[in-house]
Every structure is written in C-alpha cells, then in structure tokens.
C-alpha cells in the first residue's frame, strides 16, 4: 500500500510550523499507524532528513502516550481505538492522510506531533489520590461495594489520560478526562476523605491551565478510546455542587 502523508512539521515551540507532504510506500496492511510512521522515519533518516517526532510508549492501547489528529479525527477514524492500535488496512491504497498534533492552548506543541500534556498531570496532582493509610494490602472483600457501583468506578478508571477529548472538543475542554478521574474516587468508600476538596482543587487547576469549558458537543465521547461516557460529566457537576454546598 502507498500513501501520501500530509504531516504537521514544527521544529520547536517557537517555530510557526507548516504542513509537509511525505511518501509512505510499500506499507503492509497489517502495520499499525505508528509502525507506518516508523517506516517513513527510517527512509527520512536514510536520506539525511529529520524524522517525524511523535509520542508513543506501550503501543498496546494502554498507556495513553500516543495521539494525533488523523484526517480531522483524534486517534483516527475507528471508534474506541488508540492511534497505536489503528491499522493501515482501514485506509485505502493511495489515500492522502492528514496528520496533526492535538490542538489546544493547554497542549503547546513541542515538536511535530508531540505536545506538552503536562496540564493533565497537574490536574491529577491536584487531587487524584487518597491519603488513607491502609498498611498492607487489604482483603478484597473487607469493604463490600455493590457491583453496579464497582462497575461504574471501573468504567471511570478506564480513562488513560491521552487527551483526545481535549483535542476533539471545540472548546478544548478536559471535562471528560476530569470527570472520569473525579468519579473513580468519588464512587468508592476509599475516596470519601478528600471527596469535596478533591473536586474543587482539580477543577481549579483545570481552569487555571487554559482549558475551555464544556458545552456538551459530545465530540469527546465520540473519540474516547476507552468509551468514557458523558454521564460522568454530570457526575462531576453534581460533585462540584455538593462540595460547594458542604463548604
């Protein structure tokens, strides 16, 4: 398979950047999108040119490191799929593929497709933890939790913090990520000690980081590789109202 890649190239944060065309020839259909970029980069290196910089780590759809906007969609055209798990067989031979970094004020571009997603880490540092001293590992059944609540907490905890929700949102809002991280603790007994303080601190850091507000376009849910649902944003809003009322 042969493709034309229209890739955003940017030397550093101060460079204005531009779209540059690259050829991707002899691509095997079962290659992942990142493996295809590896092939392109190897050919660029052999020609003495700068390879395309992109984020990656596990390449198993778990870590949340990879991410780019492919043909206008965060992580590409397949639902519930990370960029590293998108395979070239889902494109047509001869396609022109446009690849851009996440676009958000809070995600400054560092180089090419790499952006600084440290704002998501700062949100987690602000309150995404519990201070209960448990000692050694507790017996799994020591604190009975109804299965529907446990399942919902696990659904929230599935968020890998990739930032696709921010990249897809017209307002660059992190609310799907933020709501998942708040909810996974608020739903469980272990998360109760800092419940009110946690949500207020995490929301405050999100606002200070330059993210936009949620206006329920639902683009975030459409591109989330872990199928995080909008209902968690409702949960976040209730948690924030609860925290302010209790204070």
- In 3D, which of 117, 124, 89, 105 has the Cα closest to residue 171? 105
Give residue 121's region: left, alpha or beta (phi > 0; psi -120 to 50).
Answer: alpha
The pLDDT value given to residue 134: 65
Q: Which of the residues in the chain have pLDDT under 50? A: none
The pLDDT value given to residue 140: 67
Fold of 118-246: Fumarate Reductase Iron-sulfur Protein; Chain B, domain 2 (1.10.1060)
Cα distance between residue 23 and residue 4, in whole Å: 5
The pLDDT value given to residue 102: 97
Q: Are 234 and 152 in contact (CB under 8 A)?
A: no
The pLDDT value given to residue 238: 97
Question: So where are the chain's domains?
Answer: 3-110, 118-246
The pLDDT value given to residue 131: 77
Residue showing tokens 């330059």:
210
> Tokens at residue 18, please?
């531009």
Q: Are 183 and 233 in contact (CB under 8 A)?
A: no
> One fold for both 3-110 and 118-246?
no
Give per-residue pLDDT as tens, 66-103. 999 999 999 999 999 999 999 999 999 999 999 999 99
Give residue 23's region: left, alpha or beta (phi > 0; psi -120 to 50).
Answer: beta
Q: Judging by DSSP bridges, how do beta strands 96-100 and 109-111 pair with one another?
A: unpaired
The pLDDT value given to residue 226: 97
Neighbours of 228 (CB within 10 A): 23
Fold of 3-110: Ubiquitin-like (UB roll) (3.10.20)
């Amino acid at each position: 398979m042969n493709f034309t890649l229209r890739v955003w190239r940017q030397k550093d944060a101060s460079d204005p950047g531009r779209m540059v065309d690259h050829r991707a020839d002899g691509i095997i259909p079962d290659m992942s999108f990142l493996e295809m970029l590896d092939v392109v980069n190897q050919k660029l290196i052999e020609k003495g040119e700068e390879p395309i910089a992109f984020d990656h780590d596990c390449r198993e759809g778990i870590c949340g490191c990879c991410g780019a906007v492919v043909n206008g969609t965060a992580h590409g055209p397949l639902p519930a799929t990370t960029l590293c798990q998108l395979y070239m067989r889902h494109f047509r031979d001869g396609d022109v593929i446009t690849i851009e970094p996440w676009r958000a004020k809070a995600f400054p571009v560092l180089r090419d497709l790499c952006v600084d997603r440290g704002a998501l880490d700062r949100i987690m540092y602000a309150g995404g933890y519990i201070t209960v001293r448990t000692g050694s590992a507790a017996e799994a059944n020591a604190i009975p939790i109804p299965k529907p609540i446990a399942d919902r907490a696990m659904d929230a905890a599935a968020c890998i913090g990739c930032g696709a929700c921010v990249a897809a949102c017209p307002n660059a809002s992190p609310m799907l990520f933020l709501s998942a991280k708040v909810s996974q603790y608020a739903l469980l007994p272990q998360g109760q000690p800092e419940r009110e303080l946690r949500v207020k601190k995490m929301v405050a850091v999100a606002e200070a980081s330059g993210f936009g507000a949620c206006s329920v376009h639902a683009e975030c849910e459409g591109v989330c590789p872990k199928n995080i649902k909008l209902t968690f944003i409702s949960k976040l809003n209730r948690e924030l109202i609860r925290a302010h009322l209790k204070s």
